[in-house]
Amino acid sequence: MITFCEERKTFKLDTPSSSYVFGIEDDRYLVHYYYGRRIGNEDLSYLARTEGTRPSERLREKNSFLDFAPMEYPVSGTGDYRPAAFEAQREDGTCSAELYYVNHTIEKGKLKLEGLPATFGSEAECETLTVCLEDPILKLKVFLVYSVFEGLDAVVRSLRVENGSKDSNVYITNIMSTCLDIDNDDYKLLSLHGSWARERNIETRSIAHGTQGVGSIRGESSHQEHPFIALCSNNTTQTTGDVYGFSFVYSGNFTASAHLDQFNKVRVLMGINPYHFRWKLEPGEQFTAPEAVMVYSHEGLGHMTRTFHDLYREHLIRSPYRAKERPILINNWEATYFNFDTEKLLSIAKEASKRGIEMLVMDDGWFGVRNDDNSSLGDWYVNEKKLPGGLKPLVDGVNALGLKFGIWMEPEMVSPDSDLYRAHPDWTISVPGRTPTRSRNQLVLDLTRPEVWEHTWNSVKTVLKSANIEYLKWDMNRQLTDLYSAGLPADRQGELLHRYVLAVYRMQETLVTEFPNLLLENCSGGGARFDPGMLYYSPQIWTSDDTDAIERLKIQEGTALVYPLSCMGAHVSDCPNHTVGRVTPFKTRGHVALAGTFGYELDITKISEGDRDLIPTQVADYHKYGDLVRNGDYYRLASFSENGKFDAWMVQKKDGSEILVTFVKGLNEANTKVRFIKLQGLEPGVSYKDETTGRVYGSEVLMYAGLPMDSLNGDFDSKLVHLLRVD
């Protein structure tokens, strides 16, 4: 619920257990009052924390006021020396800004963001506040937009800037999507870091004076740092502590930081990274900043996680597959790499169909003359040496075996050794005169240019229409360098990175509109573009190129901190694992992949008979538990990355009728006794029956004493426990 108190000039955004409050000071400044556990509707103006800066002294000591007051949307150049949320420059070089309150509206429903992914909701589910601010000198109008959702402890923010001048241009050089100024309470900063095949490891640090945070200047959200941070009170656990989570619905360069100032206040900022960003607004033009999501929990990380999961499942992922069972796929990448032909793929499909697998995905290497990763990106026509007669005979053959067919493409890229590059060497993002930096021997197409965008889209469309293709894995295997677009004038070069992201979004929007039943899985060298922006288009994203079950424990724990299990691409692969060389039981690989979309990535014709025979059981498990895993409430029970010994999580059906606990052990140890795992979030006073042993437990004993994890042997063994409520 959103309210405005006319008398005290305060805005209050209430969610089931949080309140977000700010007000208008001196009839002009938006000052932040409070964000935290839900509070009442009494006079809250004393929370403004503007003490020592009396209105009568504000002319004399304006700087003291601006450099101390918790600001709702701070600007720079007029006395607030902390990092700013907004900076702009006029043609004459002026760049100081002031934003004064003009008016506001409160309405039912949720606004769409032009060209950008964003959360959505009906008039019954959401309420939106828009506050208009103005800089009378820069002639800029800034519309801060806030929405809250029925039943969820989340506040989402974005903004629109309009150049109200009749005759002069303005350049936006910094535009954060959200800002939060709060008193420090010994908060720790939690972030997710990684690398290729090691994405989203959880890391926590103390907040020191000055600025600390994460960001990407790589042109995508990246493997390395992730558009998510959280402030956590000291000793936060899964179930206790104050947590403020910030997630950015964007897939390009970002920054997310916490600044501790001289008065021990923390300013959190999240938005597009100002690196190489300069957006020109001609008179009358507008710019919309992407959406940032804030979630507050007074019950530790677990409640934050489940709020993000519910919000993203219900109000961000649009695909018709959102809550539905996905076909169990088998992907040939780790099975064959580039070395395959129709016959080989059909042999995989044949064995797969016998064991209940439902879709074959043909990965990289089917087009141009691509026999390794040095050529042919951009030449999206079939290599008939591998697939005689083209896609159709293969797809028909796969369909005849009762399997669906999916395909891999990397539409944003071009290989210098390709017909496309030979015809259009000027279509890449590159600086005239400088040899562009190659990565995986490939270059990035400048999708901001209409002719390049059209050609690329037509290539995707032509492939998808050429056969019965029901799934697309859309990859992006390098990051951006050599920032220059031949399609932009000099004073708009700073727009390239954001325009690139907008062009990708536009293509994915066109794709899901023209092919509404296609199952789209985004990917970027594993999980380098696993972010809420891409989730708006694809219900699932490839989590990591590391498919080792034990490495995946860390990667999936970090990913599931923010994202629902339903969107984590996870496959059972062969051993020794191709990335780390580890050998783990086939059963464990299945249990770990079951926490995601579930599928296979191995040569089913070559694995051992014993492993192959386990596939039908795993397939049955997926059909049995898939709905629970996709749509249930997720609880993190133990962390292998913290304790180095074992991992455990559970998923509880929304109505509490069913629970699936997964336990995975690391290296085996001699002479250890049974370990008890404490469950979380159960309704008190009810009982659950272990489906396998028949044993009945009260919900309290499961939460406070725990579930025994016995009968495990050997390294990396694992176990599922299915509990059913007994009424």
Active site residues: 475, 545
Round to whole Å and give the CA distance between 242 and 18.
Answer: 11
Residue pair 534/316 in contact (Cβ under 8 Å)? The answer is: no
CB of 709 to ligand GLA, least distance (A): 33
CB of 410 to ligand GLA, least distance (A): 7
> According to CB under 6 A, which one of 545, 546, 551, 603 is a site residue for ligand GLA?
545
**Binding track, positions 126-155, relative to ligand GLA; x by CB under 6 A:** ------------------------------
Round to whole Å and give the CA distance between 175 and 273.
Answer: 8
> According to CB under 6 A, which one of 74, 121, 290, 525 is a site residue for ligand GLA?
525
CB of 335 to ligand GLA, least distance (A): 12
Nearest CA-CA partner of 288 in 495, 115, 40: 115
Half-sphere exposure of 284 (CA within 13 A, CB side): 2
Angle, to 10 degrees, between the axis of helix 342-354 and the axis of helix 391-400? 20
Query: Closer to ligand GLA at the Cβ: 223 or 449?
Result: 223
Residues 598-617 that bind ligand GLA (CB under 6 A): none
Query: Closer to ligand GLA at the Cβ: 144 or 407?
Result: 407
Round to whole Å and give the CA distance between 453 and 424.
Answer: 13
B/e letters for 110-146, b = 16+ CB within 10 Å, e = fewer, are bbebeebbbbbbeeebbbbbbbbbbbeebbbbbbbbb
**Binding track, positions 407-436, relative to ligand GLA; x by CB under 6 A:** -x----------------------------
DSSP, residue by residue, 495-523: GHHHHHHHHHHHHHHHHHHHSTT-EEEE-
Query: Closer to ligand GLA at the Cβ: 525 or 632?
Result: 525
Round to whole Å and give the CA distance between 634 and 22.
Answer: 33
**Interacting span for ligand GLA (CB under 6 A) from 52-60, 486-494, 521-529, 634-642:** 521-529
Round to whole Å and give the CA distance between 642 and 132.
Answer: 46
CB of 406 to ligand GLA, least distance (A): 12
Residues 460-479 that bind ligand GLA (CB under 6 A): 475, 477
Residues 390-409 that bind ligand GLA (CB under 6 A): 408
Please give the backbone phi and psi of residue 497, each rounded to the nearest 5 degrees, phi first: -65, -40
CA 529, distance to chain mean position in Å, is: 8
How many amino acids of this chain bind ligand GLA (CB under 6 A)?
12
Residue nearest to ligand GLA (CB): 364
When asked if residue 333 is in the footprint of ligand GLA (CB under 6 A), the reply is yes
CA distances from 568 to 96, 240, 413, 633 (A): 44, 26, 24, 15
When asked if residue 87 is in the footprint of ligand GLA (CB under 6 A), the reply is no
CB of 101 to ligand GLA, least distance (A): 48
Structure tokens at 475: 């990859």
CB of 522 to ligand GLA, least distance (A): 10
Round to whole Å and give the CA distance between 84 and 67.
Answer: 11
Residues 476-515 that bind ligand GLA (CB under 6 A): 477
Query: Closer to ligand GLA at the Cβ: 110 or 473?
Result: 473
Q: Which amino acid is at 149?
A: F
CB of 121 to ligand GLA, least distance (A): 33
> According to CB under 6 A, which one of 67, 291, 310, 364 is a site residue for ligand GLA?
364
Round to whole Å and give the CA distance between 534 and 226.
Answer: 13
Residue pair 317/539 in contact (Cβ under 8 Å)? The answer is: yes
Query: Closer to ligand GLA at the Cβ: 364 or 557?
Result: 364
**Binding track, positions 180-199, relative to ligand GLA; x by CB under 6 A:** --------------------
Structure tokens at 15: 């969610």
When asked if residue 358 is in the footprint of ligand GLA (CB under 6 A), the reply is no
**Interacting span for ligand GLA (CB under 6 A) from 20-28, 208-216, 274-282, 518-526:** 518-526
CB of 490 to ligand GLA, least distance (A): 35
When asked if residue 363 is in the footprint of ligand GLA (CB under 6 A), the reply is yes
**Binding track, positions 664-693, relative to ligand GLA; x by CB under 6 A:** ------------------------------
How many C-beta atoms surround the C-beta of residue 579 within 10 A? Answer: 18
> According to CB under 6 A, which one of 152, 316, 523, 638 is a site residue for ligand GLA?
523
Instruction: Give, in degrees to the nearest 5, the angle at Cα 556 between 555 and 558.
Output: 70
3-state secondary structure 91-145: CCCCCCCCCEEEEEEEEECCCCCCCCCCCCCCCCCEEEEEEEEEECCCCEEEEEE
**Binding track, positions 28-47, relative to ligand GLA; x by CB under 6 A:** --------------------
When asked if residue 526 is in the footprint of ligand GLA (CB under 6 A), the reply is yes
Structure tokens at 400: 């005849």
Residues 548-587 that bind ligand GLA (CB under 6 A): none
* Length of the chain as a residue count: 727
Beta bridge partners of 107: 128
- In the complex, the residues that contact ligand GLA under the rule CB under 6 A are 333, 363-364, 373, 408, 475, 477, 523, 525-526, 542, 545
